[in-house]
Chain A
């Protein structure tokens, strides 16, 4: 049986979901023979591959770069899993939404900066006005709420997904879990 091509992506998130993924510890080893980690912040790959079977996406869409990335991920992925509350609901990154972007940048880079007050514009991707959950930009196949979803939840979900089934997550996790 060919190995499942697995990718993990982190966008506007804290990487906590990835930590939770790694928290599967030795359980990860029981799954590892079933997949090839073809793209991930955890491995050394710069370009998202042409064909990915399963993608675990952490984080919300907060910048033009996030938007570009997620569209590429969607285009080249069969099963896109929104992993964690940031990807599913916006969560903490979206807490800036009630405020306009301009005052936030002013507060961060001007009012609170003791020296060289300037809003970064080179090399750093431009922020978008409202942080959005993944499904508001591209279609999502499976939602995994949790902040982060526990290692046990991720293990259970991965087992099912690698076996080719879509699990029902409601008993396993919830918002803020």
Chain B
């Protein structure tokens, strides 16, 4: 593969796309497929053939507003149809070149207006299984440019200058991590992509892998070049079979195109990668547990230091980054770090992909610049709270995060601001809650998750989360006392400070966060034996032993 050849493929693909009068892009990411968008696509192809119109029906990745799927995007008009059924196929095809089908039109200007697509710029625009379409939209240009013209140190400098921080939740400066691995001593180095995405309510990484896997491959290859690795692994949770199959196709195409393997793009750089599939453990999203899993061992974290950058996979220096982090690499190198650094806040640069779920009108995937306020995200882009209910809180960071109440909705979203509020950015899951949610029950839900996902290695997390869960259940059942609440709070402190890994250390966060802003709900359960949201089974009987007679 040479630069000329790459340009040629791009130009050919762009020209090919222009040969059609229209394009019907059918979302075939998991959300819409669950609504049979695959059958919809087949029906559209048939109908187009029948109509004789020069229209290309394409499967694409996630278009965004999953709540109104199955989605069909019409080009060049830019019309977006939602809730499209097989019975609508005739009308859709008939409307090409004329007035759009009114009843299918989505009116989501506000949804798309505030967004800025960097990670998702090809999502919904290309067929994820056709590498040429990716190349047609500047795919692999960054890799070509990087390995033929830049020294690896320079690549790292560019990433550092951009201000990119780990998108998996930790927010660690990516350039710094790359620099550390590059400097680490070792004959073999590895690059690992963490696609475990275990947070309940998070599907950002899944979407990227389903919609534009080549972007991640490109990012990993550039990273490998920068740090001096020749082998990579992409660890995807087993619960994402579509992502895994799309990735498998993408790897095959990348190798065939000369973007992976030996002599990449005609240089001496060699890099290839394997997919490793998870086995249902949230804890394997923790980097040392993930490494143990790849090594074939029980998925348990290891004490750090030593950090994976120095001694990771099989003891070798290992770079491990999240899917979204790698997806940001190519645009940064292609457009220059200043472009990326020009978006966002002082310490949180670039954009962030969020998965909006819960009690919100426009559930789906969004990408916004850092610094946008929560109010904008939830009420403008998200369309606010449906069915006449009132906003109560938004949970960010999954089971490691916390909830933000109404009074802090004007908070600009950034790593620092969310931590300051007792939550964290996390991987990007944003769960919106309204007045029908009981915050104690929410804390209990996340604690149950941590308890069942705890690996069991260290005592505070293994036994502590179980005790905290029991205490929260007691509070929800309106059978707890103030002493129980004090015990819960103390235990939160112990588990937070003595656990071995992030799972245990952050398991108390939802409890501490809901206590910070919604203590009245806890007290209502304890003192008045009543659940204000009407969710928990209220109990009026005194808290004594249930008696059993013969």
Flag whether A64 is at the interface (Cβ < 8 A): yes
Q: A121 and B549: CB pair below 8 A? A: yes
Q: B545 and A126: CB pair below 8 A? A: no
CA distance A105 to B545 in the complex (A): 18
CA distance A11 to B546 in the complex (A): 19
Q: Which residues of B contact A127 (CB under 8 A)?
A: 548
CB distance from B104 to the nearest CB of A (A): 58
Q: Which residues of B contact A105 (CB under 8 A)?
A: 550
| A-B interface contact total, Cβ < 8 Å | 27
Of the candidates A120, A126, A132, A137, the one whose C-beta lies within 8 Å of that of B548 is A126
CB distance from A34 to the nearest CB of B (A): 33
- What count of chain B residues pass the 8 Å CB interface test? 7
Q: Which residues of B contact A129 (CB under 8 A)?
A: 545-548
Q: B550 and A119: CB pair below 8 A? A: yes
Flag whether A174 is at the interface (Cβ < 8 A): no
Flag whether A67 is at the interface (Cβ < 8 A): yes
CA distance A67 to B546 in the complex (A): 12
CB distance from A107 to the nearest CB of B (A): 13
Q: B550 and A120: CB pair below 8 A? A: yes
Q: Which residues of B contact A119 (CB under 8 A)?
A: 550
Q: B550 and A128: CB pair below 8 A? A: no
CA distance A170 to B373 in the complex (A): 55
A103-120 interface code vs B (CB 8 A; 1 in, 0 out): 001000000000000011
B526-550 interface code vs A (CB 8 A; 1 in, 0 out): 0000000000000000001111111
Q: B545 and A132: CB pair below 8 A? A: yes
Closest B-chain residue to A139, C-beta based? B483
A131-146 interface code vs B (CB 8 A; 1 in, 0 out): 0100001000000000
Q: Which residues of A contact B547 (CB under 8 A)?
A: 64, 126, 128-129
CA distance A130 to B549 in the complex (A): 13
Q: A126 and B544: CB pair below 8 A? A: no
B125-166 interface code vs A (CB 8 A; 1 in, 0 out): 000000000000000000000000000000000000000000
Q: Which residues of B contact A121 (CB under 8 A)?
A: 549-550
Closest A-chain residue to B483, C-beta based? A139
Q: Which residues of B contact A51 (CB under 8 A)?
A: none
Flag whether A19 is at the interface (Cβ < 8 A): no
Flag whether A101 is at the interface (Cβ < 8 A): yes
Of the candidates A102, A120, A130, the one whose C-beta lies within 8 Å of that of B545 is A130
CB distance from B359 to the nearest CB of A (A): 38
CB distance from B541 to the nearest CB of A (A): 15
Q: Which residues of A contact B550 (CB under 8 A)?
A: 105, 119-121, 126
A15-65 residues at the B interface, CB under 8 angstroms: 64
Closest A-chain residue to B546, C-beta based? A129
CA distance A120 to B544 in the complex (A): 23
Q: Which residues of B contact A130 (CB under 8 A)?
A: 545
CA distance A67 to B544 in the complex (A): 9
Closest A-chain residue to B549, C-beta based? A126
CA distance A132 to B545 in the complex (A): 10
CA distance A102 to B548 in the complex (A): 9
CB distance from A46 to the nearest CB of B (A): 24
B243-294 residues at the A interface, CB under 8 angstroms: none
Q: A67 and B545: CB pair below 8 A? A: yes
CB distance from A104 to the nearest CB of B (A): 10
Closest B-chain residue to A66, C-beta based? B545
Q: Which residues of B contact A132 (CB under 8 A)?
A: 545
Closest A-chain residue to B544, C-beta based? A67
Q: B545 and A128: CB pair below 8 A? A: yes
CB distance from A102 to the nearest CB of B (A): 8
A58-99 residues at the B interface, CB under 8 angstroms: 64, 67
CB distance from B548 to the nearest CB of A (A): 5
Q: B549 and A128: CB pair below 8 A? A: no
Q: Which residues of A contact B546 (CB under 8 A)?
A: 128-129
Closest B-chain residue to A105, C-beta based? B550
CA distance A6 to B548 in the complex (A): 33
CA distance A120 to B550 in the complex (A): 7
**Top 4 A-B residue pairs of the complex, sorted by shortest distance between their CB atoms:** A119-B550, A126-B549, A121-B550, A128-B545
Seed contacts A67-B544, A105-B550, A129-B548; 6 additional CB < 8 Å A-B pairs: A64-B545, A128-B546, A128-B547, A129-B545, A129-B547, A130-B545
13 pairs across A/B with beta carbons < 8 Å? Answer: A64-B545, A64-B547, A101-B548, A102-B548, A119-B550, A126-B547, A126-B548, A126-B550, A127-B548, A128-B548, A129-B546, A129-B548, A137-B545
